[in-house]
């Protein structure tokens, strides 16, 4: 009997050692991606302007990496905060820790090389080698055209430096281990010809992560079969729960009956200089909520 117990104890001890070594590898040995590229992005006016468009209107980097007005619908970026970082995706709203959006201005990124920025955007690894939490959709950015990545880098370099120190992200167990397994080498792809509407649209939709917000999710993961069908819960505003819209081709509840002109108008209806932003009722605000995606 004692011999059996001794064998069992040895087996348990061996398993503990294996698990400990595996945890140590995941925590210290990962993420494992390619070394930083030696590159220098030439910040031409064309690149900076194209990067401005991508970072503000498609990849939406600036949306999360700035301060936003919670008392106006659509949470517009506050003047003077472009890229300053600090927005927190917190436990209060269902996130596995407190995830802080980094300062993207030269105040923080001034000592980063272009290669380090390229790796962070496309593979999810920071300057010091730690894994970035995939609320920044680097799995999608890693499928962009290299020139588009260069344009975003050029634009970020052009931002006005803002002195603002952002706290480090704090992830709960087991996400503080799992996050290290998510970064992977970029698989860049050429931008499709804009005359090929379907392929070019897919490229933009992937970069913009439309599917993330316009699908139902469970614990941050998209529920299979709900892609683009809407229904993600974005919290309560003025006593009403906000859900994302169905943007699938369904003719009854989606956009299947929309004309090309209507589709374009929906995207441009707030660009009119006469448009006045709607404010949230006094005493209320729009806040980040658990409906935001966790990718990976």
Q: How many CB atoms lie within 10 A of CB 100?
A: 18
pLDDT digits (tens, 9 = 90+) for 103-148: 999 999 999 999 999 999 999 999 999 999 998 999 999 999 999 9
Least confident of 45-59, 111-125, 228-242, 281-295: 281-295
For 184, the token pair is 């992977």
Greater model confidence, 237 or 28: 237
Please determine, for residue 36, whether its predicted confidence score (pLDDT) is greater than 90.
no
pLDDT digits (tens, 9 = 90+) for 186-235: 999 999 999 999 999 999 999 999 999 999 988 778 999 999 999 988 77
Please determine, for residue 295, whether its predicted confidence score (pLDDT) is greater than 80.
no
According to the model, what pLDDT value does residue 248 have?
95
Greater model confidence, 26 or 59: 59
According to the model, what pLDDT value does residue 150 have?
98
According to the model, what pLDDT value does residue 27 have?
52
121 in Cβ contact with 115 (< 8 Å): no
Please determine, for residue 289, whether its predicted confidence score (pLDDT) is greater than 80.
no
Interval 261-272 mean pLDDT: 86
112 in Cβ contact with 156 (< 8 Å): no
Site of tokens 């404010």? 279
Strand pairing partners for 236?
Answer: 241
Greater model confidence, 26 or 40: 40
Residues in the chain: 296
Percent of the chain with pLDDT over 90: 58
pLDDT digits (tens, 9 = 90+) for 55-68: 999 999 999 999 98
pLDDT digits (tens, 9 = 90+) for 69-114: 888 877 788 999 999 998 898 888 778 899 999 999 999 999 999 9
27/21 Cα distance (integer angstroms)? 10
Give which of 127, 101, 131 is closest to 114, Cα–Cα.
127
According to the model, what pLDDT value does residue 272 have?
76
Greater model confidence, 22 or 98: 98
85 in Cβ contact with 103 (< 8 Å): yes
DSSP character string of 249-283: S-TTTSSTT--HHHHHHHHHTT-STT--PPBPPTT
According to the model, what pLDDT value does residue 268 have?
85
258 in Cβ contact with 264 (< 8 Å): no
Percent of the chain with pLDDT over 70: 83
According to the model, what pLDDT value does residue 252 have?
93
According to the model, what pLDDT value does residue 238 have?
65
45/184 Cα distance (integer angstroms)? 31
User: Which of the four pLDDT bands, split at 50, 70 and 90, describes residue 1?
Assistant: low
Give which of 93, 91, 86, 95 is closest to 65, Cα–Cα.
86
The overall average pLDDT reported for the chain is: 85
230/199 Cα distance (integer angstroms)? 22
The alpha helices in the chain, defined as continuous H runs, are: 2-24, 45-53, 61-64, 106-109, 114-123, 138-141, 146-158, 175-178, 197-208, 210-213, 260-268
């Amino acid at each position: 009997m004692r011999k059996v117990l001794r064998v069992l104890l040895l087996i348990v001890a061996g398993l503990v050692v294996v698990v400990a070594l595996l945890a140590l590898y995941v925590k210290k040995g990962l993420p494992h991606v390619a070394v930083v590229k030696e590159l220098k992005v030439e910040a031409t006016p064309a690149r900076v302007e194209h990067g401005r468009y991508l970072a503000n209107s498609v990849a939406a980097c600036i949306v999360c990496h700035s301060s936003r007005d919670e008392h106006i619908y659509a949470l517009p970026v506050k003047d003077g905060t472009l890229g300053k970082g600090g927005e927190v995706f917190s436990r209060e709203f269902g996130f596995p820790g407190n995830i802080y959006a980094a300062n993207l201005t030269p105040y923080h990124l001034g000592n980063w090389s272009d290669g380090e920025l390229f790796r962070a955007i496309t593979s999810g690894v920071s300057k010091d080698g730690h894994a970035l939490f995939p609320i920044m959709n680097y799995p999608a950015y890693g499928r962009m055209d290299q020139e588009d990545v260069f344009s975003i880098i050029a634009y970020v370099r052009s931002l006005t430096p803002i002195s603002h120190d952002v706290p480090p992200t704090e992830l709960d167990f087991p996400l503080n281990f799992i996050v290290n397994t998510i970064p992977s080498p970029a698989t860049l792809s050429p931008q499709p010809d804009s005359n090929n509407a379907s392929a070019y649209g897919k490229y933009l939709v992937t970069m913009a992560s439309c599917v993330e917000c316009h699908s139902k999710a469970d614990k941050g993961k998209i529920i299979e079969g709900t892609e683009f069908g809407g229904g993600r819960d974005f919290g309560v505003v003025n006593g009403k729960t906000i859900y994302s819209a169905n943007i699938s081709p369904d003719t009854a509840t989606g956009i299947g009956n929309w004309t090309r002109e209507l589709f374009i108008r929906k995207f441009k209806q707030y660009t009119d200089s006469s448009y006045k932003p709607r404010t949230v009722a006094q005493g209320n605000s729009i806040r980040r909520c658990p409906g935001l995606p966790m990718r990976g």
